[in-house]
Amino acid sequence: MNYKEIKTDNIYLVTGTAGFIGYFLSKSILEHGGKVIGIDNLNDYYDVNLKYSRLNNLESFDKFSFIKFDISEKENLLQIFKEYKPDIVVNLAAQAGVRYSLQNPDAYIKSNILGFFNILEACRYHPVEHLIYASSSSVYGANKKVPFEETDFVDKPISLYAATKKSNELMAYTYSHLYNIPATGLRFFTVYGPWGRPDMAYFDFTNKYFKGEPIKIFNNGDFEHDLYRDFTYIDDIVEGIMKLLNCIPKEDENGVSHVVYNIGNNKPVKLMDFIHTLEICLSNSLGRKVVFEKVYEPIKLGDVPATYASTKLLEEAIAFKPKTSIEEGLQKFTDWYVNYYNIK
């Protein structure tokens, strides 16, 4: 893909740059000649060594600068905007995870609400060409209608995480209206791949296999009514964001330059099929047969039964079309995992 949209004289500020999506996006911008100011607080929600390894890969680029920093600190954030004068901001810093929001709600308010408010304030006082921010497919809650469309009713979130993401969309729209900040929200659908998040199921299952522990599957063993997820490979996600960087939203009927897109694979997969494919891919990477020991438990509080993205709007805007199959994507993950953790 030739990203003609990348302006090499632009400054791209990426928050959550040591995170999964933030790392790959920063790497892609840098590979296409852009300058990236990366921000991350390097928290210990999951293995910090993985975050440092991602950062280490980015620091080989001359046009990359990193600031260890928490976006909940408003005055310092305003100072960073004043000093670096970013043209485009991509806010991927957030406390992730639906289940963790049941145990540690304060972290979600601090990062996802207060932190995002500070980003909006910084864009207000130091105007940018475009703000792109992470929302989530979790805003759809337990919607029965599929595929999920951006026009669907999303006022009944079933986790605090989802509520914070819906709040982000409302806050961004308000700031776009009040202060003319062009903004695009992205509802991500189950992103996976190498260098991913260890709290995600595919990574967690692989970790448990090597620890000799059973994997917990929260579908009650009900294969007829299994959970569905719209698993989306990281390269497809990054390609979509890259095309959007300089795609400023058109004003709506109220003169507001704000839009929200689903960004998913548009092909939901049964959880059990996903697990079976992961076993096959890991077997290929190791050269021996892998079968997970499985324990079936009830669906977890806050989990949704299915996610399924309609990506029609994004296709119309940037010709977005994911092309990575589950088989190809998971094979790339298991090959990376075996190499990264030096497993024989």
How far apart CA 39 and CA 119 sit, in angstroms, is: 12
Task: Give SS3 for 240.
Answer: helix
How far apart CA 12 and CA 303 sit, in angstroms, is: 34
How far apart CA 237 and CA 66 sit, in angstroms, is: 23
Cα angle, residue 92 at apex, residues 170 and 209 outer, rounded to 5°: 120
Closest CA to 130 of 93, 185, 60, 79: 185
Q: Which of 161, 175, 233, 261 is catalytic?
A: 161
- Residue 45 annotated to the active site: no
Task: Give SS3 for 182.
Answer: coil
Map tokens 């994911």 to a residue.
322
Compute how many other C-beta atoms are within 10 angstroms of the C-beta atom of residue 193. Answer: 25
Cite the DSSP H helix spans in the chain: 20-31, 48-58, 74-84, 100-103, 105-108, 116-125, 160-179, 201-211, 234-244, 271-286, 312-318, 326-340
Q: Which residues are catalytic?
A: 161
